[in-house]
């Protein structure tokens, strides 16, 4: 397999381990989230350099509201700081930004920052960064079904392809590679629908420490995988066998 063919089109990342990274340094968890933003910006550019077309990251889950109020409000504030600090840089480097998740529960200020990020980068083509914020895989499936019903799609015409068009990540192909940092080996309600055939890579590396070496290790692991999508390796279609 040549190395170009082995590069995934779409990489998804559960950016986990910020809190533990900070604790190891006797710092508050917020310090880890702040370092996590820097890690994200570096990773987006590293992915673009490697020819990856889509990067989707899990930044705040539907369940993260369960955290202490001060951590939740710290994370919301950090989004505003991150947009102010990095939006121009990402826009200049050709990054198209999309925010994926339920926007109803976030503040007007945050919604406005998301809209600014999306509209400023709308026409960029180098890489699409989808930030999953207030996102849950189950929420996504439910909102897709609801919108299909509102559109009046008849039940017998609702198939996988049609429902996919209502999913929150319909602007991207399904992820080829899904990486989770932080050592946990679970999905935590991330792309339940879209990750049906993603290759999974779990690493103990804590998200603020994730860099070129860890990205390249995950890409090398991906290149070694044999993706069959339910088929059999080197299978010959039945018609060919019968001919």
The minimum distance between CB 202 and ligand IPE, in angstroms, equals: 12
20/79 Cα distance (integer angstroms): 20
The residue within the footprint of ligand IPE, chosen from 7, 14, 52, 83 (CB under 6 A), is 14
116 binds, among ligand IPE, Mg ion, none (CB under 5 to 8 A by kind): none
Please choose, out of 13-21, 114-122, 148-156, 235-243, the segment that lies near ligand IPE by the rule CB under 6 A: 13-21
Please choose, out of 57-65, 118-126, 161-169, 171-179, the segment that lies near ligand IPE by the rule CB under 6 A: 57-65
Residue owning tokens 């889509």: 54
Interacting residues with Mg ion between 5 and 24 (CB under 5 A): 16
The minimum distance between CB 241 and ligand IPE, in angstroms, equals: 46
Residue owning tokens 């509102």: 150
64/41 Cα distance (integer angstroms): 22
Kindly give, in sequence order, each residue whose CB lies less than 8 Å from that of residue 56, ignoring residues fewer than 6 positions away: 10, 11, 12, 13, 100, 129, 130, 132, 169, 172, 175, 191
The minimum distance between CB 179 and ligand IPE, in angstroms, equals: 11
60 binds, among ligand IPE, Mg ion, none (CB under 5 to 8 A by kind): ligand IPE
The minimum distance between CB 143 and ligand IPE, in angstroms, equals: 18
218/202 Cα distance (integer angstroms): 9
176/173 Cα distance (integer angstroms): 9
Handedness of CA 137, 138, 143, 148 (dihedral sign): positive
132/99 Cα distance (integer angstroms): 6
Determine if 58 is a binding residue for ligand IPE (CB under 6 A): yes
Determine if 17 is a binding residue for ligand IPE (CB under 6 A): yes
Please choose, out of 56-64, 87-95, 109-117, 170-178, the segment that lies near ligand IPE by the rule CB under 6 A: 56-64
**Catalytic residue IDs:** 16, 64
């Amino acid at each position: 397999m040549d190395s170009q063919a082995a590069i995934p089109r779409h990489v998804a990342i559960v950016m986990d381990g910020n809190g533990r990274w900070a604790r190891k340094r006797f710092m508050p968890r917020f310090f880890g989230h702040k370092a996590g933003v820097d890690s994200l910006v570096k990773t987006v550019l590293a992915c673009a350099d490697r020819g990856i077309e889509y990067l989707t990251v899990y930044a705040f889950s539907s369940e993260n509201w369960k955290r202490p109020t001060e951590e939740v409000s710290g994370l919301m504030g950090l989004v505003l700081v991150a947009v102010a600090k990095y939006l121009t840089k990402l826009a200049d480097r050709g990054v198209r930004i999309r925010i994926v998740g339920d926007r109803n529960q976030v503040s007007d200020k945050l919604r406005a920052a998301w809209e600014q990020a999306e509209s400023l980068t709308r026409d960029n083509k180098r890489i699409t960064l989808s930030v999953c914020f207030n996102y849950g895989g189950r929420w996504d499936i439910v909102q897709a079904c609801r919108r299909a019903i509102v559109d009046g799609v008849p039940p017998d015409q609702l198939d996988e392809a049609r429902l996919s068009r209502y999913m929150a990540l319909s602007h991207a192909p399904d992820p080829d590679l899904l990486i989770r940092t932080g050592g946990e080996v679970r999905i935590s309600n991330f792309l339940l629908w879209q990750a049906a055939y993603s290759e999974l890579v779990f690493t103990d590396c804590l998200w603020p420490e994730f860099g070129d070496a860890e990205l390249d290790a995950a890409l090398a692991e991906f290149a070694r995988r044999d993706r069959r999508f339910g088929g059999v390796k080197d299978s010959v279609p039945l018609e060919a066998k019968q001919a």
